[in-house]
Amino acid sequence: MICIKLPHTDFEVSEIAFGAWAIVGGFNWGPQDEKDSIDALRTAYEEGINFFDTAEMYGSGASENLIHKALGEVRNKIIIATKLKPADYAYADVKKATEERLKALSTDRLDLLQLHWPNPEIPVEETMRALSELKQEGKIRAYGVSNFGKQQLQEATKYADEISSNQLPYNLLWRAIEYEVLPECKQDNIPILCYSPIMQGLLTGKFADAGSVPDDRARTRHFSSERPQARHSEEGCEDLTFETIDKIRKIAEEYGKPMAEISIAWLLSQPAVGSVIVGGRNGEQVRKNVKALDCKLDDDVLQKLNEATQPLKEKLGNRADLWEGKSRIQ
């Protein structure tokens, strides 16, 4: 497992991070056995993952509690990233919410504290001032943002010059950040932490066509706005999405690797990517995901994947919000 040093920090994070949302179940994840969640977390650590990404919004602190329960004994050997919800971005609320996150994780410091989504209702200057003070106080070791677009990053960096990361949705079926956000991150030396690397299962090949995708996973702009849980008004591009998946599947078959491994390996090859956040609801799933580290793609395969997914990239355009027509990522 290769580790990289995030800028403005004194620690290194594994190139694959464990995403700790699905382990709480609920939402579109379904029922989850706590024993499986503990097994997933411990297996991730045993496989060399030292970077664990969570948030208050993942089960109202339940995900943070599980990380402590599973890995509290090795707290000094792991890096924990958590997030503040947008309603807590006012100066005093940042301070209060940080204390709550410390309590939920049963720890004396947060390694990486992130802003979960932009909040245009609260001046970013105020939020960044609070984060900078928390770092000076030793309550947090570093701070980052999540779902910030080019303009939002430019505004944030006016008031804070130590942003260590930007967490964004990025995968072979969702390359919208390549137009503006990724170049901005690269220019500002802000590594991207990629979430949804296998597009909620679409890049595992488990769904034969758009009709077989359950509504709670068909909320993105790939799918028609007529889907019950859609939050956009677009026609979607369901046929093109599955034509693209079929192309990726064929490339994976030629290479002799599963689609999921190819998809994660592709991300690890992209510029400005710091770590790829991969979930796992049990130890077996974690072990499968880590195998992507053994998948080294040559330039020819990378080019084939880029060409296969370019039409979908162009169809979806440069609006970096995966779910909503009016982009929250500006």
Pull the structure tokens for residue 29. Answer: 């994840």
**Tokens 């290479």, residue located:** 255
What does pTM read for this prediction? Answer: 0.96
> Could you tell me the end-to-end alpha-carbon distance of the chain, in angstroms, rounded to an integer?
34
- Write out residues in the chain with pLDDT < 70, as ranges: none
Exposed / middle / buried, residue 169 (Cβ in 10 Å: 0-12, 13-18, 19+): buried
What is the Cα–Cα distance from 279 to 18, expressed in whole angstroms?
6
pLDDT of residue 42: 98
The amino acid at 283: G
Give the H/E segment covering residue 211.
none
| CA angle in degrees (0–180, nearest 5) for 113-116-120 | 120
Domains defined for the chain, CATH in brackets: 9-200+259-297 (3.20.20.100)
Question: What residues act catalytically?
Answer: 58
pLDDT of residue 310: 98
pLDDT of residue 24: 86
Query: Which candidate, 235, 193, 242, 186, places its Cα nearest to that of 213?
Result: 242
